[in-house]
């Protein structure tokens, strides 16, 4: 049932209006566990919607925040960038049709008009603004998109941040073409598993690296032609000998291993970086850069156009997600501990509704 009521600031429309509290996980200080709190129902400002969340998902960002290793830290906060649920309340100026819609949330807010780079106002849901590790979240109406019908709630919640990061890195920045060889490093990572699935669906030949044999085997089940252990001395030479040089490398590690990527990428090829888990590359070989005519490209999350294109791609190829495990909201601290050891393949998801 749909209701309209007045609060002190403006009118809102809500499904099943009720006076109630919601459960939310709160990070109060760094290196402390999340605390489960009861909070008041959320109310949208003009142009905003409240989404009653069915599921949310972890990203490496959530872990960095708990460790105090994220710029602009502002606590306490309800963490969580990824979420999927039902729109239950809308603020002034929002289309009534959104009420009751099953949606996933684009967590990149304020990208701006330039498709090449985000604006200074760009921020990510889940710090500084309260995020999705709760029964409700409030976001601008422009951030919600129809949930792909073939995805369960938990699969849908796994998509937003990692999915759009992988999509932009591969297609918008990396310009991946069918038939090209794409190498995706550190395949256990959340973004990397999306990149693998998207690249395979796009008709690329995909190779991967991982420190774990189990993850390399699983990647092959998802369509990779071969996997290599990035800790082995000559893994790069072995890859080139067996599979040829990659046209495109998608990397979020950086660090010592980056020089191997410069060595093995095909002349005229491209390396896209969206992270630096292993820190900055200690030495940079400028000779390789200009002699091989390389493109070294940075990538961060994605524009609204990337997000829409990613959803079309997921629907077109009926891609399901690599979800490692699903836990209840109350077990979030256990999932967080798993993030510390990176033993997962794909996403850690919180079941909420």
Ligand X SMILES: NC(=O)c1ccc[n+]([C@@H]2O[C@H](COP(=O)([O-])OP(=O)(O)OC[C@H]3O[C@@H](n4cnc5c(N)ncnc54)[C@H](OP(=O)(O)O)[C@@H]3O)[C@@H](O)[C@H]2O)c1
The binding site for ligand X (CB under 6 A) comprises 59-61, 162, 165, 185-192, 209-212, 215, 230, 252-253, 255, 257, 274-275, 277-278, 300-301, 342
Kindly tell me which of 44 and 302 has the beta carbon lying closer to ligand X. 302
Kindly tell me which of 176 and 192 has the beta carbon lying closer to ligand X. 192
Give the shortest CB-58-to-ligand X separation in angstroms.
8
Give the shortest CB-117-to-ligand X separation in angstroms.
12
Residues 6+ apart with CB under 8 A from 219: 187, 193, 196, 208, 210, 227
Backbone angles phi, psi at 64, to 5 degrees: -55, -40
Kindly report the CA angle at 39 between 67 and 25, in degrees rounded to 5?
25
Kindly tell me which of 141 and 336 has the beta carbon lying closer to ligand X. 336
Give the shortest CB-232-to-ligand X separation in angstroms.
12
Kindly tell me which of 197 and 252 has the beta carbon lying closer to ligand X. 252
Beta-ladder partners of 298: 273
Kindly tell me which of 211 and 320 has the beta carbon lying closer to ligand X. 211
**Closest to 251 in 3D by CA, of 159, 338, 174:** 174
Residue ranges of the alpha helices (H) in 209-331? Answer: 213-221, 235-243, 258-264, 286-291, 304-317
Give the shortest CB-219-to-ligand X separation in angstroms.
8
Distances (CA, A) of 99 to 12, 102, 246: 11, 9, 47
Element (H, E) at 192: helix 190-201
Give the shortest CB-44-to-ligand X separation in angstroms.
27
Q: Are 344 and 324 in contact (CB under 8 A)?
A: yes
Give the shortest CB-168-to-ligand X separation in angstroms.
8
Kindly tell me which of 111 and 230 has the beta carbon lying closer to ligand X. 230
Element (H, E) at 159: none
């Amino acid at each position: 049932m749909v209701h309209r009521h007045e609060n002190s600031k403006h009118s809102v429309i809500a499904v099943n209006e009720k006076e109630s509290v919601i459960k939310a996980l709160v990070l109060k200080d760094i290196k402390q566990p999340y605390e489960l709190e009861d909070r008041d129902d959320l109310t949208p400002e003009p142009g905003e919607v409240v989404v009653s969340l069915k599921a949310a998902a972890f990203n490496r960002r959530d872990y960095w925040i708990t460790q105090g290793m994220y710029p602009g830290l502002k606590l306490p906060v309800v963490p969580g960038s990824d979420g999927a649920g039902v729109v239950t309340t809308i603020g002034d100026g929002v289309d009534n049709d959104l009420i009751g819609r099953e949606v996933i949330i684009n967590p990149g807010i304020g990208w701006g008009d330039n498709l090449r780079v985000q604006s200074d106002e760009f921020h990510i849901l889940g710090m500084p603004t309260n995020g999705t590790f709760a029964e409700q979240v409030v976001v601008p109406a422009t951030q919600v998109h129809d949930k792909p019908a073939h995805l369960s709630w938990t699969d849908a919640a796994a998509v937003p941040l990692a999915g759009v990061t992988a999509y932009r890195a591969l297609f918008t920045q990396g310009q991946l073409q069918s038939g090209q060889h794409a190498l995706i490093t550190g395949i256990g990572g959340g973004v990397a598993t999306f990149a693998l699935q998207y690249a395979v669906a796009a008709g690329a030949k995909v190779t991967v690296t991982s420190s774990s044999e189990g993850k390399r085997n699983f990647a092959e089940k998802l369509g990779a032609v071969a996997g290599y252990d990035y800790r082995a001395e000559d893994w790069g030479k072995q890859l080139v000998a067996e599979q040829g040089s990659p046209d495109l490398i998608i990397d979020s590690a950086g660090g010592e291993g980056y020089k191997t990527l410069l060595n093995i990428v095909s002349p005229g090829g491209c390396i896209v970086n969206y992270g630096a888990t292993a820190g900055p590359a200690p030495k940079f070989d400028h000779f390789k850069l200009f002699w091989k005519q390389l493109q070294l490209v940075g990538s961060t999350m994605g524009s609204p156009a990337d997000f829409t294109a990613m959803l079309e791609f997921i629907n077109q190829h009926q891609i399901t997600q690599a979800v490692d495990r699903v836990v209840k909201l109350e077990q979030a601290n256990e999932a967080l501990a798993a993030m510390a050891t990176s033993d997962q393949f794909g996403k850690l998801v919180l079941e909420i509704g």
